[in-house]
Chains A and B, each alone.
Chain A
Amino acid sequence: MFANFDFDVIRRSLGYLFLDGMTFTLTLTGMAALGGLIFGTLIALMRLSGLKLLGRIAGLYVDLMRSLPLVLVIFWFYFLVPYIGQWLTGSSRPIRVGAFTSSLVTFIMFEAAYFSEIMRAGIQSIPKGQPMAAQALGLTYGQTMRYVVLPQAFRNMLPVLLTQTIVLFQDTSLVYVLSIPDFLGAASKVAQRDGRLVEMYLFAAAVYFAISCAASFGVRRLQARIAYVH
């Protein structure tokens, strides 16, 4: 089975795979996680604001995103982002948007729905006395959130947020449907060019496996440490 396994094709393409492909994947993962966390926190605050209309809009957004397959959302934004850009810049024609920007917008908007549910759980896990005490001290709503509630919610939810980021890391491989050279896309390009599908896909699988395993091991360690402090 491995008699004509060509290790050289992997060695030859390492530079392309990691410097181009993996850099794209990791940058996308990191920026989408950060953006998703910011938007997700805003959505969670909207849902918990007590304002009916705001809460309902946020709830609808989260439900919509969570009912749709990511592949469909990727297609939606791929075609929608040029029109959004046209609307934002007021130009007369849909603007051209690069592969990276398009996927970044997609993943931020998609992940925001999932991160918002995590942050909502985190905010709700803070005892009521804390925001009350903050209010009694004369802090405004914004200050209460900024200095009292959100830091604790974020710290409590850190393992869950990181686990979601590992899922996001794996999900970024779906930009393949737009022929974007992320790590898997790069591996697939080499595989098809050199007719070495077995080698390239096995190697890609091994790399994803190693990174995800190491990351989830780290999260488990972190979780154990947090649990110990309590």
Chain B
Amino acid sequence: MNYHWNWRIFWEPAPSGTGTYLDMLLAGLVLTIETAICAWVIALVFGSVVGVLRTLPSKTAFRVGFAYVEFFRNMPLLVQLFLWFFVLPEILPASWGLWLKQMSNAPFYTAAIGIGLFMSARVAEQTRAGIGSLPRGQMLAATALGLTTAQAYRYVLLPMAFRIILPPLTSEFLNTIKNTSVAITIGLIELTGEARAMQEFSFQVFEAFTAATVLYLLINIVVVTAMRLLERGVAVPGYISGK
């Protein structure tokens, strides 16, 4: 193999003028984490609401929830990002579109919102499954106690459902982190983007991608460990995962 390995490349100054190549990659890592956290907050909020909608007795609520999930699940994430980034500013009234186009950091906001909504459909499915897995008696008992539907969800169903679906939510959060790399296509230079830039500047392809790979693995290990601790902390007594 006639590839010239040079692992010291990380400590060499990058042509972007912001420090070494390692600094470049770490800046990408920070942006990946920031984007993922913003997207995850959006996904959790919208996903929970839509997930609850799909479990309500109302037919309309069920249909709205169904349409929402199908809409965001049946298009590739990349296409959805393009719709938000390229199409939305054009079909809004001209002054709004102009404001969107001139916004600094537009790729970041687009990525956070686009990935957040994309993931919210998956969170909604998990929330629905979690609520559906609860015995019917829980809702009946809550109603018998005189709780309104809102109170029953707030104090009885959701606290149980969220603790049950914590493991699948962990994988959805990991998916959110991985999906931030798709935003490279709308100009967000996150971890994968910085690795690609480093490869273009330095021609050290495999060192750049190895570093990115290691950083992604580290994020995974940290998230999985933290979530295991959280799962143990909030496990429902009496369930298989509980004490």
Contacts and interface: CB of A to CB of B under 8 A. Distances in A.
Interface of A: 1, 64, 67-72, 75-76, 79-80, 83, 86-87, 93-94, 170-171, 173-174, 176-177, 184, 188, 197-198, 201-202, 204-205, 208-209, 212-213, 216
Contacts of B79: 173, 184, 201, 204-205, 208
Contact of B220 (A67, A93, A205): A67
Nearest to A2: B91
Contacts, number: 104
Contacts of A202: 83, 87
B29 interface: no
A191 B64 CA distance: 32
Interface stretch (B128-136, B140-148, B153-161, B179-187): B179-187
B206 A209 contact: no
B2 to A, nearest CB: 7
A87 B174 CA distance: 34
Given A83-B3, A198-B87, 5 more contacts: A68-B178, A75-B199, A198-B90, A201-B86, A212-B73
Interface stretch (B15-23, B106-114, B211-219): B211-219
B209 interface: yes
Given A69-B216, A72-B195, A201-B82, A209 B75 contact: yes
Interface string B74-92: 1111111011001100110
Q: Which DSSP category, helix, strand, loop or mixed, fits chain A's interface? A: helix
Contacts of A68: 178, 213, 216-217
B78 A176 contact: yes
A202 B79 CA distance: 9
Contacts of B87: 197-198, 201-202
A203 B3 CA distance: 43
Contacts of A71: 181-182, 184, 192
Contacts of B83: 201-202, 205
Nearest to A166: B74
Interface string B43-56: 00000000000000
Contact of A173 (B76, B196, B209): B76
Contacts of B3: 83
